Structure 1
Amino acid sequence: MNKLKLNALVKSQDWTMFGIIASIYLVWRIGTVGNWSKECWILLLICLLGIRKDQVDVDWKRFFLFGIPLLGVFYYFYGTGNGFWWRIANWMFENNRHPWHWDAYMNAIPLNTGGWARWIASPFLDKAMVWIYNYGFVLSLWICIVRSFWTRSIKKMLSYALSGHMLQFPLILPFYNLILLHEVWYVNKQPDLLHRVFTDENSLLVATMNCFPSMHTSISFAMLLLALREKDRIFKTMMVTYCAAIIFSTLYLQIHWLIDVFAGMLFAFGTVKLSDLLIRIGSKNMLPTTFKKFYQKGTKAASNEITI
């Protein structure tokens, strides 16, 4: 009798509404941990305006069972990832495993410093570029992941995450371990336009090395490439504009060299293609049949979503 009452109580609950509330809370926590400004939230909301054009035909309750835990996993690694990254950077600095030093070579290449990007410099543009650069490393990725969550697409969430930090971090480490290249302003003894405060010389050197390829460029360009696959024009326009601005900011602020930017774009293209391959292999050969049947039950579009 108690079991019947419990089943009746469970069935009477509006689990879709609970899922929506939990999802909104999780997205809010992501922004809180990232110290998002109001401009970040406005950009996210604009990118969400046309989500119906890209939504997958999957029942909300079925999606929430997998989507919320997956978003939670991304949130967890986001919260711990920054410290992990800086431990790796410090380890590389302390062990000095850089057989190739490129500062002089890069500085000798015409137009490679990106100084031409500052021909249009102004106080307003300086401030805007600092905001774009400081948030660009993670915000471009999070906007895409959060939007793909509200389109009810597990595949898109994985595609954005894999093409972003999940694949790029481990794949870029050999470059950063072999090549020592400092930021443009440091090599040319110019002021730091990001106005960072360094506690000592070691922290300065750690923060200004590891430029090739530009990971700000590779993350944003990967998001740009994936955003172009979506149907909603508002989202595509906003992401192309925002991601292009991130790439431009690396040159405008004298952080990365022009060759770093080109290398970052090429690196991003490779990670997107690798992500596509991994998802295709995983969905075809590794995904349990029971999961496919449960997730796509009663929907035709969901079947395509899982098996693409």
Structure 2
Amino acid sequence: MSEKLRRWSNANDWTMYGILASIFLVWRIGVVGNWSLECWVLLFICLMGVRKDQIDVDWKRFFVVGIPLLGVFYYFYGSGSGVWWKIANWMFENNRHVWQWDDMMRSIPLNDAAWARAINHPVADQIMAWIYNYGFVLSLWICIVRSYWTKSVKKMMSYALSGHLMQFPLILPFYNLILLREVWWVKGQPDLLARKFATENDMLVNVMNCFPSMHTSISFAMLLLALREKDRIFKYMMVTYCSAIIFSTMYLQIHWVLDVIAGMLFAYGVVKLSDLIVYLASKLVPSRFKGFYNKKDQAYAPEKTVAA
């Protein structure tokens, strides 16, 4: 029986099956995120030089861990939004804001980022709205999907931990203690995103969590990690895209300048913390599991790391 099973296994092209399963998962991620054509084009460009950062691991061996891990990320991506809004509504209903910063932030010169709209145009408004609306998750998913095709589980975990996995729980205390609303709301201006709110409660929940800017912290964390990669196309694209996300928060009069600065500092701290967690976790991985990857790994950061 075992001999028949072995022959059956050898007769199948498991690498091709893994590639097809991977493409299906990436497609499902885009469907759940309602990605536009521009999102797919951006992902395609970022994948163009992926071979420059691939590690020397057999595809079949990588798929054993990589596909389930990508599937877990996909599952939480699909259910994570509902969890986040439940938490946001709970915070609104159980108001524990110790500090209310609307007036203070408005009184600081140039802090409203009105200078970011010194030159504006309806077309620019549409572009910035697209960048902002997709930027919260697209910047992270581009990095995770690309790290998947580099065949590095360690990179996937580094991007995921530096993104929503660690930022959500670590940023909640700020949102629970500090009440700061979006710039346009405080200044009595139109919402440039033209968002439709079913109730007054929905609107207040949307506009109240500003400090630090999580659009900024997610995109800046991805920018910092992208700079570690070898492929220049990917690095330049992510620096440009992530910088545009950060700028869009000010151009659209959503975040205050100090929100953005705080978001960048917060992201830097989270990236360093995730680096430490990944490093310590790699030390705990059994040698038998590491030996499953039978070829030598390449460097990811300045120091040598293993693929698992």
Bin the TM-score by the shorter chain.
over 0.9
- Deviation of 1:299 (Å): 3.0
- For residues 67 and 146 of structure 2, the distance between their equivalents in structure 1, rounded to whole angstroms, comes to 13
- Deviation of 1:306 (Å): 1.9
Q: Which amino acid in structure 1 is aligned with residue 269 of structure 2? A: G
Give the structure 2 partner of residue 102 of structure 1: 101
- For residues 171 and 87 of structure 1, the distance between their equivalents in structure 2, rounded to whole angstroms, comes to 17
Deviations along 1:148-176, one digit per CA (max 9) or x if unpaired, are: 00010111100000000011000000000
Give the structure 2 partner of residue 8 of structure 1: 7
- Deviation of 1:305 (Å): 3.7
Normalised TM-score (structure 1): 0.97
Aligned residue pairs total 305
- For residues 47 and 214 of structure 1, the distance between their equivalents in structure 2, rounded to whole angstroms, comes to 25
Q: Is the 8 A contact 1:58 1:301 kept in 2?
A: no
Deviations along 1:214-239, one digit per CA (max 9) or x if unpaired, are: 00000000000000000000000000
Alignment of 1:299 onto 2:296 = yes
- For residues 204 and 81 of structure 1, the distance between their equivalents in structure 2, rounded to whole angstroms, comes to 20
Give the structure 2 partner of residue 218 of structure 1: 217
Give the structure 1 partner of residue 246 of structure 2: 247
Q: Is the 8 A contact 1:56 1:305 kept in 2?
A: no
Note the residue ranges of structure 1 that are not aligned, 5 or more in a row.
none
- For residues 265 and 201 of structure 1, the distance between their equivalents in structure 2, rounded to whole angstroms, comes to 31
- Deviation of 1:298 (Å): 3.5
Report percent identity of matched pairs.
70
- Deviation of 1:300 (Å): 4.9
Alignment of 1:260 onto 2:255 = no
Q: Which amino acid in structure 1 is aligned with residue 30 of structure 2? A: G
- Deviation of 1:6 (Å): 2.3
- For residues 6 and 80 of structure 1, the distance between their equivalents in structure 2, rounded to whole angstroms, comes to 37
- For residues 88 and 18 of structure 1, the distance between their equivalents in structure 2, rounded to whole angstroms, comes to 39
- Deviation of 1:59 (Å): 0.3
> Where does 1:227-238 land on structure 2 (aligned, <5 Å)?
227-238=226-237
Q: Which amino acid in structure 2 is aligned with residue 288 of structure 1? A: P
- Deviation of 1:275 (Å): 0.5
Note the residue ranges of structure 2 that are not aligned, 5 or more in a row.
none
Q: Which amino acid in structure 2 is aligned with residue 293 of structure 1? A: G
- For residues 101 and 41 of structure 2, the distance between their equivalents in structure 1, rounded to whole angstroms, comes to 40
Partner SS, residue 306 of structure 1: coil
- Classify 1:204/1:300 alpha carbon distance in 2 versus 1 (closer, same or farther; 3 Å): closer
- For residues 51 and 139 of structure 1, the distance between their equivalents in structure 2, rounded to whole angstroms, comes to 18
Q: Which amino acid in structure 2 is aligned with residue 277 of structure 1? A: L
- Classify 1:10/1:218 alpha carbon distance in 2 versus 1 (closer, same or farther; 3 Å): same
- Classify 1:156/1:163 alpha carbon distance in 2 versus 1 (closer, same or farther; 3 Å): same
- Deviation of 1:3 (Å): 3.3
- Deviation of 1:302 (Å): 8.8
Q: Is the 8 A contact 1:184 1:256 kept in 2?
A: yes
> Where does 1:5-44 land on structure 2 (aligned, <5 Å)?
5-44=4-43
- Classify 1:301/1:259 alpha carbon distance in 2 versus 1 (closer, same or farther; 3 Å): closer
- For residues 100 and 295 of structure 2, the distance between their equivalents in structure 1, rounded to whole angstroms, comes to 59
Give the structure 1 partner of residue 285 of structure 2: 287
- Deviation of 1:11 (Å): 1.1
Normalised TM-score (structure 2): 0.97
Q: Is the 8 A contact 1:57 1:302 kept in 2?
A: no
> Where does 1:160-239 land on structure 2 (aligned, <5 Å)?
160-239=159-238
Q: Is the 8 A contact 1:98 1:177 kept in 2?
A: yes
Q: Which amino acid in structure 1 is aligned with residue 86 of structure 2? A: R
Q: Is the 8 A contact 2:297 2:306 kept in 1?
A: no
- For residues 147 and 99 of structure 1, the distance between their equivalents in structure 2, rounded to whole angstroms, comes to 41
Deviations along 1:168-214, one digit per CA (max 9) or x if unpaired, are: 00000000000000000001110000000011111110010110000
Deviations along 1:247-282, one digit per CA (max 9) or x if unpaired, are: 000000000000000000000000000010001111
Q: Which amino acid in structure 1 is aligned with residue 12 of structure 2? A: Q
Alignment of 1:159 onto 2:182 = no
- Classify 1:288/1:148 alpha carbon distance in 2 versus 1 (closer, same or farther; 3 Å): same
Q: Which amino acid in structure 2 is aligned with residue 292 of structure 1? A: K
More helix by share: 1
- For residues 73 and 235 of structure 1, the distance between their equivalents in structure 2, rounded to whole angstroms, comes to 25
Q: Report the RMSD for the aligned CA atoms in angstroms.
A: 1.3
- Classify 1:126/1:279 alpha carbon distance in 2 versus 1 (closer, same or farther; 3 Å): same
Give the structure 2 partner of residue 66 of structure 1: 65
